[in-house]
Structure 1
Amino acid sequence: MGTTYSVKLIASGADFSTASLQKQVDERLVEINQQMSTYIPDSELSRFNQSPAGNWFPVSQALADVVARAKEISEQSDGAFDVTVGPLVNLWSFGPDNRPEKVPSDEAIAAALANVGDAKLEVRLDPPALKKSRDALYVDLSAIAKGYGVDQIAQLVADSGAQSYMVEIGGEVRAVGRKSDGSLWRIAIEKPTPGARAIQEIVELSNQSLATSGDYRQHFVEDGQIYSHTIDPQTGRPLPHPPASVSVLHADCAAADAFATTLMVLGPERGYNWAEQNKLAVLFLIRGADGPVVRRTSLWPQRGE
């Protein structure tokens, strides 16, 4: 996943083994990477992306389940969330291809768009398999697989007997129970300032997941214009005025991860309205002349101190 992970827990029982749990965590993360990474040439997903169109391609149950969930969110968001956006992500220099950071031509964008679209991807759960209608279809699960990884590691920790724990992968978090002093897990949301680290807000989590998507780390600048890594699958281009970041609270981290990206694509106005309609707890940080403008949906908790 190209990032770090952290697990904190309150162990129960004298026979609890941190080393045994870490071994299970590492093995599960390697497995998920081998299933869903676009950076590993022989991963399940990479082999599907390289396969010809028209035939069912057998995959693991995990990969089929994640693609099925992604397609549900794509339908729910009228295509704002689309895991087939991979050709555009690569074209705009944000994928594994290491392309130079530059604005592509209109012709190149149109050519990539022809291979993008959730309707071009099918999933079958039993037996698990994927199918595409175009050879160049390229699935990129980076906006949901990390959250899925958090959910999977959280389940491993729960199965170990821990009733209070916090799992974090690359900033996506799930927290259950309370810390040893009885307080809730406190998670900081970063101020969206390029090149700096500062806290914007603190959220107390209990039996919840938190995911954040932002454009202040992954972007490039050309002729004074900022181009974000979040691509609108409808236009084939980064949003001209996206939120600086979107944070989502949800029961599971895979959904929080996907919804955060969805709301970045929808933008601060459409995204806010869509989040309210879908009863999501969301914090929008929108660029302002004097720093980020904060906008919370009605289900977002009161600000912590």
Structure 2
Amino acid sequence: MQRHTLSESHSSGWLFCRPAWFLLAGVLLLAACSQPNSGVALSGATMGTTWHVTYLPGPQTAPPEQVQASLEGLLVSVNDSMSTWQVDSEISRFNRGVVGSWVPVSGHFARVMAEALRIGERSGGAYDVTVGPLVELWGFGPVQPRMELPQTSAIEAARNRVGQQFIEFDGELQRLRRLRKVELDLSSIAKGYAVDVLANALSERGIDSFLVEVGGEMRVAGNSPRGDAWRIAVERPEPGARAVALGIALEDIAVATSGDYRNYFELEGRRYSHSIDPRTGYPVAHDLVSVTVLADDCMTADGWATALTVLGADEALALAEAEGLAVYLMRRDGERIVPLYSSAFAPWLEQSTPTQ
């Protein structure tokens, strides 16, 4: 079995927007620091990945070390709520809890859960935060990669432990409970939420020009250090290479990209994507290779990018139109990469730089 991951590189002048788990450390800082007025650049580690913030300070802005400490504290609180790697996190305690019992949850958890369930419902189950057993079964979880395909019986057994309909959420009382022994994994949306938490914290400090990135998900506001809009590069989906498909000038918007061309395995001549369809229990097998979503908040962009990747190009574009989502898709047609986009994305193309 051949397992594919990413090699390190960067592209001058553009900030790469790429699948969340594969943004390379240092790309944002390299791009920002190459400018004459680079502002302040902060970075660190969180959620098993990296985070970067670049902002333009004002005369009353606190020293960078104070801003960094504040942001790191917020990231710790999000991680303490939603990390499945921490045995004492809020989500880990919930997953170990008694089926049928109501569990009070924090504001962080409640906000993310509400949006995750909404996207799951609107996507017809293509997005499901209980999909973890299937992800692990196919070898894309924390366990070792599979050397053979799972048996049909194992897939069906895992599917019996998947389904957001078995999660009951009471937003008013900020609590939830399981109706069956399913487990939550919010990693497909938590990084986007963390971006929003940091962005809101910067705004509350009076900082109105910034870029926030956590694990590849981004949100920008105001102007870049160059004095113009932030420039984000959408990667062309080419395994083993790194090239820009589209450059977009962005202001006051969040962006998330999901794709299946970097994380997959090949067995007996067939490719198996890390994107698992919760409705079937199998990896997706369509020609959609990259989804980029723009939204007012990064949590929404993050969740929808995952959902649309599962659906495939035609269904994804139709749903994006129905939901009014700004979406840029790339599908593979033989040796060609064919771009598609929703009506809501069209205005952003007027400020874009195609490079194909």
Q: TM-score, normalised by structure 2?
A: 0.82
Q: Which segments of 5 or more consecutive residues in structure 1 lack a partner in the other structure?
A: none
Return closer, same or farther for 1:297/1:219 CA change in 2, 3 Å cut-off.
same
Name the SS of the counterpart of 2:62 in structure 1. Answer: coil
Map 1:46-195 onto structure 2 (within 5 A).
46-98=92-144, 100=146, 102-135=148-181, 137-195=182-240
Q: What is aligned with 1:247?
A: 292
Q: What is aligned with 1:196?
A: 241
CA distance in 1, matches of 2:94, 2:185: 11
Structure 2 letter corresponding to 1:4: T
Mapped pair 1:236 → 2:281: yes
Q: Which moved more, 1:208-217 or 1:99-108?
A: 99-108
C-alpha deviations, 1:35-75, integer Å up to 9, x for none? 11122222111121122211012221211221111111111
CA distance in 2, matches of 1:55, 1:287: 46
CA distance in 2, matches of 1:21, 1:251: 23
Structure 1 letter corresponding to 2:176: L
Mapped pair 1:44 → 2:119: no
Q: What is aligned with 1:302?
A: 349
CA distance in 2, matches of 1:139, 1:263: 20
C-alpha deviations, 1:113-167, integer Å up to 9, x for none? 11111110012234422210112x0111111111001100101111121111110
Q: Which segments of 5 or more consecutive residues in structure 2 lack a partner in the other structure?
A: 1-46
Return closer, same or farther for 1:206/1:264 CA change in 2, 3 Å cut-off.
same
Structure 1 letter corresponding to 2:272: Y
How many percent of aligned residue pairs carry the same amino acid?
Answer: 43
Q: What is aligned with 2:21?
A: none
Contact persistence 2:61–2:206 (CA under 8 A): no
Name the SS of the counterpart of 1:151 in structure 2. Answer: helix
CA distance in 2, matches of 1:126, 1:45: 19
Structure 2 letter corresponding to 1:67: M
Name the SS of the counterpart of 2:49 in structure 1. Answer: coil
Report the Cα offset of residue 290 of structure 1.
2.5
Mapped pair 1:280 → 2:337: no
Mapped pair 1:4 → 2:53: no
CA distance in 2, matches of 1:175, 1:86: 31
Cα RMSD (Å)? 1.5
Contact persistence 1:10–1:164 (CA under 8 A): yes
Q: Which moved more, 1:53-62 or 1:166-175?
A: 53-62
Contact persistence 2:287–2:333 (CA under 8 A): no
Name the SS of the counterpart of 1:183 in structure 2. Answer: coil
CA distance in 2, matches of 1:98, 1:46: 21
C-alpha deviations, 1:197-243, integer Å up to 9, x for none? 22111111111000000112221111121111111111011111151
CA distance in 1, matches of 2:147, 2:75: 30
Contact persistence 1:38–1:96 (CA under 8 A): no
Return closer, same or farther for 1:61/1:182 CA change in 2, 3 Å cut-off.
same
Quick one: higher RCO (CA 8 Å, sep 6+), 1 or 2?
Answer: 2
Length, aligned pairs only: 304
Name the SS of the counterpart of 1:63 in structure 2. Answer: helix
C-alpha deviations, 1:85-133, integer Å up to 9, x for none? 1111111112233453542111011011111111100122344222101
Contact persistence 2:106–2:174 (CA under 8 A): yes
